[in-house]
Amino acid sequence: MLNLWKNKAAEEKRLKTVVSPSRIRLQKDQSELVPDTTVTVEFPNVSDITKFHVVYRPPGGMYHGGQFRFSFEVSDNYPHSPPKVLCVQKIYHPNIDTAGHVCLNILREDWKPVLNIQSIIFGLQMLFMDPNPEDPLNKDAAQNMIHDLAGFKQNVSTSMRGGNVKGAAYECVLIPPPPPPPASKGPRC
């Protein structure tokens, strides 16, 4: 064991900080996120990159016009364990329950360490562009979507405005309109 070591080149004294492998991996994941105009990543506490929000604004589909906010929490065991992801708003969706649990296979049973934050964001985008009522988490919403698509679309739109669907109140998730341009003062010359 000693000789084996002595074969290695003499090492230099360096100031070293041990950085956890999960943090290194997260740094790589975060810094290589594909820029996407429909997605914003926010940090409630900027010095902590392990807790962040992903806000998604679907560019089309039934959920167009809304912005959906998910909290991500990455543990020291990342990427062996997946991040914990919750929808922080109460929304009407076949695959997301009203407590914010998300039924996305790669968040639980199909998670693999080769997947990353970007894969989860893709997964979330897919849920909004193509909700899957065959694998429901909010059973009522799923039944509604299967049996009465037009009514479901109406309910989605009502819930997104913060209205009531079947007696339950939902949170308004509409993207606020851009502030009006400052009114011009006086006559133009």
Partner 1 sequence: MAMASPFKCDAGISRYLQLKAPHVEGFELVNDENETPRDLLAKAKVLVIGAGGLGCEILKNLAMSGFNDIHVIDMDTIDLSNLNRQFLFRKDDVGKPKAEVAAAFIKRRSPHVSITPHFKRIQEMSEEFYLDFTIIICGLDSIEARRWINALICGLVEEHGFKGFKPIIDGGTEGLRGNARVILPSVNACLDCGLDLYSKKATYPICTIANTPRLPEHCIEWASVLEWPRLFPDKKLDGDDPDHINWVVEKASARAATFNIPGINYSLAQGVVKNIIPAIASTNAIVAAACTNEALKVVTTCNPYLDNYMFYSGLDGVYMFSFPYARNPDCLVCGKREGSLSLPATATLDELITALKESPVFQLKAPTISHGETNLYFQNPKALEALTRPNLVKSIGDLFESGSTLTVTDPTLTTSLSVSVDFS
Query: Residue-wise over 74-83: b if at least 16 C-beta within 10 A, else e?
Result: beeebbeebb
155 phi/psi in degrees, rounded to 5: -65, -40
CA 187 to centroid of chain Cα atoms:
48
- Are 26 and 49 in contact by the 8 Å Cβ rule? The answer is yes
Cis peptide before 58 (omega within 30 of 0): no
Nearer CB in complex with partner 1: 52/157:
52
Q: Which residues bind partner 1 (CB under 8 A)?
A: 1-2, 4-6, 8, 10-11, 14-21, 23-25, 27-28, 30-33, 35, 40-43, 46-47, 49, 76-77, 80-81, 95, 97, 99, 101-103, 105, 107-109, 111, 113, 135-137, 139
Q: How far is the CB of 185 from partner 1 (least distance, A)?
A: 32
Catalytic site residue 189?
Answer: no
Q: Least distance from C-beta 52 to partner 1, angstroms?
A: 8
Q: Which are the catalytic amino acids?
A: 103
